[in-house]
Amino acid sequence: MIAKRCTHCNVPLLSLLWLWFQCWHPLLQNRRAHLLPFYAKALIADCKTQEKDPTFWNTWAQKTLKNALTLQTLNTNKAKNVILFLGDGMGVPTVTATRILKGQLSGHYGEETQLEMDKFPFVSLAKTYNTDAQVPDSAGTATAYLCGVKANEGTLGVSAAAVRSQCNTTKGNEVTSILKWAKDAGKSVGIVTTTRVNHATPSAAYAHCVDRDWYSDNEMPAEALMHGCKDIARQLFENIPNIDVIMGGGRKFMYPQNTSDVEYPTQPKMSGTRKDGRNLVQEWIDKMKDKKGNYVWNKQQLLSLNPNNVDYLLGLFEPSELAYELERNNDSDPSLTEMVDVAIKVLKKNQNGFYLLVEGGRIDHGHHEGKAKLALYDAVEMDRAIGRADLLTSIHETLTVVTADHSHVFTFGGYTLRGNSIFGLAPKVSDADQKPFTAISYGNGPGYKIVNGGRENISTVNYESSHYQAQAAVPLLSETHGGDDVAVFAKGPMAHLLHGIHEQNYIPHVMAYAACIGQNQNHCMSSESALLSQSRCRQE
């Protein structure tokens, strides 16, 4: 933590250590409220002084240039492991705002902070449109970046020949995902999400479904059931047998209708939904009881596991989505970072390597609600998870990609001053209605409010609260996705192939090429033959 605070401005290390000790030592808890503002001011004041000197900027740029020159030697190793971090709805403005928030949480201005994803050497852009939509949804995009094929909105693991909600268009139009390619190649595979495990993003890794809303058979029309279509929860356990790690929410879709939830037994809306009477969790437990399989539903159970004694892990921590990071119960609910930590420790035992899909799924939900604070804190948590994965893997054998499925109509502006709270006000009132406004706003959404015939005066509300809905230009019950390109950050073997601007479905093809799985394996056999020949020559 201290090292990161020293990266931008050279505040004397002893001063930082002393300030940190006073702020965080348990014996001095009563002084924190007084000292933290002083701590932040000390950091910012020193930065302000250094930034006035051209030498500071020139030195920083030269260090960056020196690092960039090292990238001329490309990493063309075979990727033993492949990790995809997917920030649902994490468009470029969200990435920038997350960076500022992360810095401000550490006592900095924020703008100069580096996210973990910022450290990745290769960055490109992906075009996110669905085959039938200019502004996409999460199902069609998930099919693109997991299955390598663009698809219609609302459909999962099927080509564009399939029509949403029409069961009879499923058969013959199924497409497989990189998770299946990895499993077929002998790798361990895992899914970790903060949404339900049968939500759009994770579902495209294993399901073939013409409607993303068919979570269990309870949500399916009778006609679809009659024609033999399967709900998504059922497909999770049947389509790709023995997915090694599955963690997220969605418990209620696995249990028979009206089965009380283990955590919320008195709340009917949390009860099981299945009409077919199947208990998919118990079926999984019975199947895995002799295979070092473990089912957990809370943080204590998860963190008490010894990954060395676990080969298969099913963790369902909520009946539906997991809580937002800002509202998470730290005693009972695992963070995304904690789930990723356990997942990698379980998966990396396989000598053939692993594929892991990690979704920060509630970034998207926060934006839909117009609650930017919830969205951005979840994005900061996903960045922490990226950092944890970095510590547990090696760049020499692990390809890591961070991207988003789509953007949102989220933005921030208003000529805010350096270090302005990302959730704060613009420095001047509007010159049109003479009312203050926050830097953050949405193009549409539930934050649109008219009071006494005009825009709401936000000086009368707590605009920095977690549930404040930022003002929007167009009234909608739920804010919409954006149609802009999204960033793709990459590091590790063959990461340089993610460059420029590409279609979103290009992503899994690169990842598969790097790992020598899927359809592009000729280069792997050539490389292995060359290595074998070199070895024989040395022996002779």
128 is in an annotated binding site: no
Rounded CA separation 376/104 (Å): 12
Tell me the residue type at 96. Answer: T
Please give the C-alpha separations between residue 37 and each of 41, 103, 402, 523, in angstroms, as whole numbers: 6, 14, 34, 57
481 is in an annotated binding site: yes
β-partners of residue 156 are 209
The token duo for 434 is 């003479």
Q: Residue 168 corresponds to which tokens in the numbers above?
A: 């009879």
467 labelled as ligand-binding? no
Cα–Cα distance for residue pair 90/98, rounded to 1 Å: 9
- Measured CA angle at 168 (ends 167, 174), to 5 deg: 80
Q: Is 194 annotated as belonging to a binding site?
A: no
193, 199 in Cβ contact below 8 A?
A: yes
169 marked among binding-site residues: no
Would you state the structure tokens that stand for residue 539, as one six-digit string? 């022996």
Cβ-based neighbours of 528, under 8 Å, separated by 6 or more? none
Residue 359 marked as a ligand binder? yes
Length of the chain: 540
Pairing status of strand 398-404 against strand 354-360:
unpaired
Residue 82: closest CA among 404, 388, 389, 342? 389
Give the closest residue to 180 by CA, choosing from 220, 131, 225, 238: 238
Containing 195, the helix (H) or strand (E) segment is strand 188-196
Taking the mean position of all CA atoms in its chain, how far away is CA 102? 16
Cα–Cα dist 194/86, whole Å: 11
User: Has 138 been annotated as catalytic?
Assistant: yes
On whether 502 is known to bind a ligand per the annotation, the reply is no
Torsion of CA 460, 466, 470, 476, to 10 degrees: -120
Catalytic member of 124, 138, 177, 441: 138
* 34 annotated as ligand-binding: no
Element (H, E) at 340: helix 336-347
Q: Find out whether 367 is annotated in a ligand binding site.
A: no
SS3 sequence, 452-509? CCEECCHHHCCCCCCCCCCCECCECCCCCEECCCEEEEEECCCHHHCCCEEECCHHHH
Residues annotated as binding site for Zn(2+)?
A: 88, 364, 368, 405-406, 481
Residues annotated as binding site?
A: 88, 199, 201, 359, 364, 368, 405-406, 481
Residues annotated as binding site for Mg(2+)?
A: 88, 199, 201, 359
Write out the catalytic residue numbers. Answer: 138
